[in-house]
Structure 1
Amino acid sequence: MTLDLQHAAQRRMRRTVLVLVAVVLFLVAALVVIATRDGGSDNNGKGSPSAVSSPSPTPTLPEDDGGYVAPAQYVKLPDGAEKVGDLPIKFPRTPEGATAMLVASARNAWAFDAAKVKAGILAYASADYRDSMAASAEDGAIGNREFAGVPSTGELPAGATLNAWPIGVQWSEADSGTVDALVLLRVTSAPKEGAEPKITIVVSPAQAVWEAGDWKVMPTSPATNLPDPVDVGTAKFNADGWKAIQEGDRL
């Protein structure tokens, strides 16, 4: 990614810092790393993602040989014991449980609907930050619209989509009530029907704290020295220590 791309991404992400940190998108308060690759998308998600317009994006990752490399590590994250609406909560008090909450929050946060963004904040944000972040849910939804290249207000164009699929995780247990994690997401977006989807790989740092009988998201300071964004199925995914998330019969 060129320096101009990095600066443009940072400017856009600052607009939604409160919301996106709260719901573990981490696109702002953390230094977000976005991979851009040339060419169309394939089944491994190796497409042509770009968070901002650029006539000639510079790849941030070395080219691979195009062959699929199976993940060296898998993890089946635990389910929440309860739900609020369709959002799982009440995860076990383990590092895997904390990571599962962060993954659920990250997946929910990529939405055009401000009500959905707000629901994620209310379900997952730490109590000390929940109300102030919930008040900015509309800004978060606008940021998501801009990310996908759709108008910031009004009806969505037919066929506009924005979906995040968490594909990998890393975590470390600071203590029995605090877990630091990285969530690797493959974000697919399209501004309208017929547009070629963009695939963006995002590395999202996060922290979970044990609070009132469940894991909650704690806002984190901007991170440095994040690993490169890399898709599952590549040698670098394994070299960087990612655990592939296994859900049902697919990663």
Structure 2
Amino acid sequence: MTRKPEQKRGPRRPLSEPNHQRAASTPSDTIMPTTFLYSNCADAPSAVQDELQAASAAGYGVDPQHVFWEVAPASVPALQRPRLRALQHQAQPGDAVVALRLCSLGWSVPEVLATVRRFRLLGVALYCVQLSRDDLASTTPPEAVEVLRAVAALEGATRSVRVRESLAAAKAMGRQVGRPPKHTPEQRHAILSALSAGYSVSETARRFNTSRQTVLRIRAAEPLAQRAAAVAIADADADVEESATEAATE
């Protein structure tokens, strides 16, 4: 019987990878973003449940374990509220935070804008059901945020005008404007006398147990006071002269 010639074998194929090595080489599962609900308006668990249902009806599905709520007073800035601070630490970039009412994000327009800026820096989307369907923390501010900015600017301008008007009215009535002076007129006169006698600003500050800045302010204000006194004296002299003239003509 004729024997068949042996076929030359090729190189041995490598063994297949173990299961755990194959699993390691496959891409990991993508982590799904989390949606949180935050409230500073709900004052009881039943109210929180109502807000959960309202958020769900608005299209935001939130797991009850991802709810952060508290009743912080208006005197506490929004970003310093304990539960909102905890939410900032837990939320990851790509997550979303939903608030039902605008007051949960702050008790003033500047406070709301500060909260929006904070979540924008964290990379966390921020929604307010009461205000808009847009992401308030988007890098391209939506119209709702632009409106809030305009309102904040208007409030700031209004405050400035009112302060100026109040100061002008107080000055017209002869009232003291600003902080009360730290030194009495006698002390200010003594400080100016020391400077006139040749003492340096530092030496004068040490003598009167005050700061160099205070001595400099008193010295800088002296020419203004002298000019004001000179004007007052001139006005008084003019009044006296006018009265004398009127008396002579009569």
Per the normalisation by structure 1, the TM-score is 0.19
Point out which structure has higher relative CO (alpha carbons under 8 A, 6+ apart): 1
Which structure would you say has the larger Rg? 2
Per the normalisation by structure 2, the TM-score is 0.19
The structure with the greater share of residues assigned to strand is 1
